[in-house]
């Protein structure tokens, strides 16, 4: 799905060579170039940062009260940009700045954290329910040990017409390449156990199977193949696995892995099982290494889908990518 409309200024900003060509009279304007060449050559409609924001906020009322979960040093809705937003993160701003001071990121982007999460229900931490017009998070849900509880807590915080907007890594185009897709049953098991941290098995799989391509942990859907090496040794995986058994602390790994079709199937399953009230109401397919999902409450009690067709689509999508792996 692609509902991003053409904007002349955004297009010229994202394609400075086109702006020069227009100024020289080679094209009437940016739209003239877009129609003649831009569509076929898949020119970006705007800069990467603007495109992400357009997709995340496509259905959201930016003037409403929002909650951003886990923005760290890359907030999508910074207070300094005028957003009426609360920030929930696993650490305070001071702790985050200390954590990232030598990580080659701009720690000035880290904003004051309103709610420091220590494992309690979000509604208990915030002290309110049904109070937010929107909730957004980027590259967060794959780290959450119990995602059903996470989504249910987001539901509890949203107003009846609120939206949950997510940016999610596509496992085919990053270090999760060799990992299997997450299933509905995986989420159900974690929910039944009320997990607070990744299991030792999840920790082992993440470390042992993390992959790279040309030394990078993310490469995007560029059609140039998959992973060509592993990121860690077996000894490293064995060591961190042993640590995960001994410590009660959370060890940060990807607990879950998705492609757009598999994520939508899980959400539909949970809706049909009566575990959540949210369903996918808008999505944008994978760009680079990530895709976008917006969830909202719907009046439908059952989501009708052809499960066989969806599962075949998922299988084919993963097979096409895995068939290009370098060995």
Bigger pLDDT: 314 vs 103: 314
How far apart CA 277 and CA 260 sit, in angstroms, is 19
pLDDT (tens digit, 9 = 90+) per residue, 135-167?
999 999 999 999 999 999 999 999 999 999 999
pLDDT (tens digit, 9 = 90+) per residue, 228-268?
999 999 999 999 999 999 999 999 999 999 999 999 999 99
- CATH 3.40.50.150 domain position(s) in the chain: 63-322
Position 76 pLDDT exceeds 50: yes
The label of the residue with tokens 């702790």 reads 95
pLDDT in the model for residue 47: 86
Position 1 pLDDT exceeds 70: no
Average pLDDT rounded to a whole number, residues 117-130? 95
pLDDT band per the 50, 70, 90 thresholds, residue 322: low
Classify domain 63-322 at the CATH superfamily level.
Vaccinia Virus protein VP39 (3.40.50.150)
Name the burial class of residue 79, with classes exposed (0-12), middle (13-18) and buried (19+) by CB atoms within 10 angstroms of its CB.
middle
Whole-prediction pTM: 0.89
Strand partners, 166: 137, 293
The label of the residue with tokens 């910074």 reads 78
- C-alpha distances in angstroms, 124 versus 115, 121, 193, 256? 11, 5, 20, 25
- Return the percentage of the chain with pLDDT > 70, whole number: 96
Average pLDDT rounded to a whole number, residues 51-71? 95
pLDDT band per the 50, 70, 90 thresholds, residue 3: low
pLDDT in the model for residue 323: 45
pLDDT band per the 50, 70, 90 thresholds, residue 67: very high
pLDDT in the model for residue 303: 86
Question: Whole-number mean pLDDT of the chain?
Answer: 93
Bigger pLDDT: 223 vs 63: 63
Average pLDDT rounded to a whole number, residues 284-311? 91
Average pLDDT rounded to a whole number, residues 79-95? 95
Position 320 pLDDT exceeds 80: no
pLDDT (tens digit, 9 = 90+) per residue, 88-104?
999 999 999 999 988 88
Task: Kindly list the strands in the beta sheet with 132-138, ordered across the sheet, starting from the edge strand earlier in the chain.
Answer: 115-116, 85-89, 66-69, 132-138, 158-169, 290-297, 278-287
Average pLDDT rounded to a whole number, residues 61-67? 96
Average pLDDT rounded to a whole number, residues 13-35? 92
How far apart CA 310 and CA 298 sit, in angstroms, is 21
* Distance between first and last Cα of the chain: 33
The label of the residue with tokens 């969830």 reads 295
pLDDT band per the 50, 70, 90 thresholds, residue 44: confident
pLDDT band per the 50, 70, 90 thresholds, residue 2: low
Position 208 pLDDT exceeds 50: yes
């Amino acid at each position: 799905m692609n509902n991003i409309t053409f904007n002349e200024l955004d297009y010229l900003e994202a394609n400075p060579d086109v702006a020069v060509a227009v100024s020289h009279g080679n094209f009437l304007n940016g739209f003239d170039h877009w129609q003649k060449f831009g569509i076929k050559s898949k020119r970006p409609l705007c800069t990467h940062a603007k495109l992400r924001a357009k997709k995340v906020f496509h259905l959201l009322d930016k003037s409403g009260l929002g909650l951003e979960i886990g923005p760290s040093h890359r907030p999508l809705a910074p207070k300094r940009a005028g957003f009426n937003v609360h920030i929930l993160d696993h650490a305070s701003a001071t702790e985050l700045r200390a954590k990232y001071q030598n990580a080659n990121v701009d720690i000035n982007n880290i904003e004051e954290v309103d709610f420091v999460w220590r494992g309690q229900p979000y509604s208990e931490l915030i002290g309110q329910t049904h109070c937010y017009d929107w909730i957004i998070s980027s590259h967060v849900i794959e780290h959450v040990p119990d995602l059903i509880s996470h989504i249910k807590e987001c539901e509890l915080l949203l107003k009846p017409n609120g939206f949950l907007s997510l940016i999610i890594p596509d496992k085919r185009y990053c270090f999760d390449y060799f990992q299997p897709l997450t299933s509905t049953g995986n989420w159900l098991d974690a929910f039944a156990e009320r997990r607070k941290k990744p299991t030792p098995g999840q920790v082992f799989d993440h470390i042992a199977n993390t992959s790279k391509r040309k030394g990078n942990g993310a490469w995007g859907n560029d059609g140039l193949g998959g992973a060509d090496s592993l990121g860690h040794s077996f000894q490293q995986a064995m060591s961190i696995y042993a640590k995960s058994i001994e410590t009660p602390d959370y060890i940060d790994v990807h607990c879950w892995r998705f492609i757009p079709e598999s994520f939508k199937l899980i959400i539909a399953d949970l809706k049909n099982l009566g575990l959540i009230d949210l369903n996918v109401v808008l999505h944008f397919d994978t760009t680079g290494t990530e895709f976008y999902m917006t969830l909202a409450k719907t009046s439908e009690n059952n989501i009708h889908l052809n499960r066989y067709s969806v599962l075949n689509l998922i299988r084919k999508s993963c097979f096409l990518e895995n068939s290009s792996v370098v060995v």
